[in-house]
Structures are given as C-alpha cells and as structure tokens.
C-alpha cells in the first residue's frame, strides 16, 4: 500500500488537529484521509454511510465558496455524487456502505443539506459587503465559513462566525461527545485554534473568542486565544505538514504508521492497513477499543433465514470460537479453511468461546498478506 501513496495535495483541519494533540499520532491515517490518497484507498470499514454524506456535502460547500459548483439543481447533484461513491465501492468489491436514496430519511437529508448549500450560494451572491477575490465573493461571517492556508494546502469549514465591534467569535458545533474525564477533548480545542489562526492569517478580522457548542446549542467551552498561541499553531502546522510530506516521499512506513489500540480503534482504513494487520492481531485491547483476530474459518451457518446475520465458527490458536457477522460485511471471497481477519470484535465477558462484533462496524475478510 505504501508504494502507491502520494504526497497530499491538501490537508484538512480536522485531521491535523487530531494529529497535533495525540501523543503518538498515526500519520499514515492523516495521509490516507487526505487527497489524492483519500480517493485512491477508498476501501474502508463497513458502516461509514455517514462519512459519505459528510464528504459529499463538504466538497460541494468548498466548490460553492470557490465558485466552481455551477449546477443549479443541487439536490440532483448531491444524489448523483452519492451514487457515484457507492458505485466506486461496488467496483472495488466491498459495497459496505448502504444508502437508500429513495427512503424518506434520505430524501429529507438531501433536502436539508441542499437547503444549507442554497442559502450559502445565495448569501455569497447577494451580500455586497463581502470582500472580493479572484474567484468571486468571500464569506467571512455567518454559517459555513471556508478558511484555508499555506497556499490552499490546508482547508477547513467553520460552522459559524459571529461578528461584533470587538472582533469575531468562531463557533464549532459538535453532535457527539465533547467532554472526557479530563475535560474537553484537546483535538476540539486545537481545531478551533487552527480555525482562528487561519482566519486571522487571511486578514479577515481579529478573533476575540473560540466557542464549542453541543447538539442542543449550549456553550460547553469558550476561550480567548492569545496571539502567541495562534502564531505557534501556524508553526506547528507547517512543521507537521513538512514532516508528513518528507516521510511519504521516503516511503518510510515505520515512521508514518503507528498501530495501537487507541489509534486503530475508529480508523476506517484499518481493514487495508498492512501495519495494523501485521501487528494488532497479536495484541489484545481493553474496552472500548475493539480487537483484530486472525484465525481459520471452520464453518458458516445461517441460523435464522432473512435476518442478515451469519454465524461463523473460527479456529484461533487451536481453540474454537463462534462469532456473528452482518451478511454484507463478510467478504465475498472468503471460503471454508481460509485464513481470515476478524475486524473490530471483542472477547465476550461471559463466554470464553464467543467473539462479539462491534455493532456499527465490523468485518470478516480473507488474509492476503
């Protein structure tokens, strides 16, 4: 896999903020999450339909900001792009993300997201107070404000920017868990700090505060960033991107990849990451981090028809284990007596012979190493 990697032509604020706040970051994940590698290595863990929605929406948002999205019918455009992503997965032989575009939920989601895109395009066209650049008008306040830096190599989308006479407030809305036992997740604070640094670097306005809100709209965290902190953040970003570029050019997989229980837990690329597959099947992770198992497939059973679940019998180190798997998350090339990887499973706490799958994303694939 590493031989096909390319130096990223663009990084995202969300991925770099996580890398900057991790004690031992996996830079390979940063590379795989960045273009052009993001489009080349698209085989991911199952259950990432939400990621497809987000990716399509954010790419359309950036195209509207840059004036490149010319299609008038945004709903049809979004539907076509989602279908193209699903078709690409079908070609790769692992169509694990399922999206029914005719369902009521999908129709509502398309209309909701496209309404936000229409509002953004309308605001960019009609707000005469916005400054201009070569690509048209630039939105600097309101919802969905695009920022970039390092000659366009780093980009991000701020949820909301509020303006006042004393400066602007940068707001990030989170729908998931914000607080940990130690307080606000450091990556969320770093993400806001990067937004503030890029916003000021672009010369828009001084940032007086950064704010995190939860899904109810309540303010969970706020801070006034110091100028020295913003300047230091720019330096950290430049050093990180230069280091990643250098390691990719050298194809230094050992320094890029840092497989561990924490790093691999939610990584969508773990299913194709050789470093993960080679190391993590011999380690055991503590909950909530799932495990990777390596064994031999002994049997496949369908205990109840039309449930979408299969029951597997697997031999691991001369011991027999049983495991359920979503029927569509069992790789189609797996056969009896094959060596298989069992991705994102837990040892059952009550039964020593049972492997319990992570509900929202697990898989069983043939070992090809």
- 60 within a domain of the structure (yes/no): yes
**What pLDDT is attached to residue 336?**
96
In a domain, residue 272? The reply is: no
Final residue belonging to a domain, choices 230, 250, 270: 250
The answer to whether residue 292 is domain-embedded is: yes
- Residue 181: inside a domain: yes
pLDDT higher than 80, residue 260 = yes
Q: Are residues 208 and 312 in the same domain?
A: no
Tens-digit pLDDT profile for residues 280-337: 999 999 999 999 999 999 999 986 666 788 999 999 999 999 999 988 889 889 999 9
Is 265 a member of any domain? no
pLDDT digits (tens, 9 = 90+) for 13-54: 999 999 999 999 999 999 999 989 887 766 778 866 667 788
With respect to residue 261, please indicate whether it lies within any of the assigned structural domains.
no
Q: Is residue 255 part of a domain?
A: no
60 plus 19 within the same structural domain: yes
pLDDT tens, 208-248? Answer: 999 999 988 899 999 999 999 999 999 999 999 999 999 99
User: What phi and psi, each to the nearest 5 degrees, are found at residue 105?
Assistant: -65, -45
Q: How far apart are CA 107 and CA 118, in angstroms?
A: 16
Helix axes 49-66, 74-92, angle to 10 degrees: 130
Please count the structural domains in the chain. 2
Round to whole Å and give the CA distance between 78 and 221: 34
Residues 87 and 227 in one domain: yes
Q: pTM for this structure?
A: 0.82
Domain identity same for 129 and 243: yes
In terms of domains, do 128 and 35 share one?
A: yes
State yes or no: pLDDT of 341 exceeds 90: yes
Is 187 in the same domain as 293? no
Domain that holds residue 33: 2-250
Those residues with Cβ within 8 angstroms of residue 81's Cβ, 6 or more apart along the chain or in another chain? 56, 59, 60
Residues 127 and 197 in one domain: yes
CATH code of the domain covering residue 306: 2.40.50.140
Q: What is the pLDDT of residues 157-186, one digit of tens each?
A: 999 999 988 889 999 998 778 888 778 999
> 58-104 pLDDT, tens per residue?
889 888 888 889 899 999 999 999 888 777 766 665 555 667 888 89
What pLDDT band is residue 348 in, cutting at 50, 70 and 90? very high
- What is the mean pLDDT of the segment spanning 105-116? 91
Both 231 and 349 in a single domain? no
Q: Does 273 map to a domain?
A: no
């Amino acid at each position: 896999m590493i031989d096909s990697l390319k130096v990223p032509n663009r990084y995202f604020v969300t991925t770099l903020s996580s890398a900057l706040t991790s004690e031992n970051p996996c830079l390979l994940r940063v590379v795989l999450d960045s273009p052009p590698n993001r489009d080349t290595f698209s085989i991911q863990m199952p259950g990432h339909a939400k990621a497809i929605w987000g990716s399509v929406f954010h790419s359309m948002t950036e195209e509207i900001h840059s004036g490149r999205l010319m299609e008038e019918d945004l709903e049809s455009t979004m539907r076509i792009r989602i279908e193209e992503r699903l078709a690409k997965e079908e070609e790769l032989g692992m169509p694990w993300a399922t999206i029914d575009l005719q369902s009521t939920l999908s129709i509502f989601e398309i209309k909701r997201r496209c309404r936000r895109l229409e509002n953004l395009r309308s605001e960019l066209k009609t707000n005469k107070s916005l400054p201009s650049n070569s690509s048209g008008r630039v939105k600097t306040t309101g919802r969905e404000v695009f920022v970039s830096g390092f000659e366009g190599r780093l980009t991000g989308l701020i949820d909301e920017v509020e303006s006042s006479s004393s400066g602007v407030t940068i707001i990030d809305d989170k729908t998931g868990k914000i607080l940990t036992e130690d307080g606000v997740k450091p990556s969320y604070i770093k993400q806001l700090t990067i937004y503030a640094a890029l916003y000021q670097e672009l010369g828009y306005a001084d940032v007086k505060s950064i704010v995190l809100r939860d899904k109810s709209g309540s303010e969970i965290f706020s801070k006034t960033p110091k100028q020295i902190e913003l300047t230091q953040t720019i330096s950290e970003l430049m050093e990180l991107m230069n280091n990643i570029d250098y390691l990719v050019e050298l194809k230094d997989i050992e320094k890029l990849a840092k497989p561990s229980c924490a790093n691999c837990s939610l990584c969508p690329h773990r299913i194709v990451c050789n470093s993960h597959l080679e190391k993590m099947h011999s380690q055991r992770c503590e909950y909530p981090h799932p495990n990777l198992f390596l064994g031999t497939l002994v049997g496949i059973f369908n205990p109840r028809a039309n449930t979408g679940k299969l029951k597997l019998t697997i031999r691991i180190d001369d011991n027999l284990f049983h495991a359920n798997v979503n029927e569509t998350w069992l790789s189609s090339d797996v056969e009896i007596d094959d060596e298989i990887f069992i991705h994102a499973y837990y040892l059952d706490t009550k039964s020593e012979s049972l492997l319990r799958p992570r509900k929202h994303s697990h898989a069983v694939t043939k070992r090809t190493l």
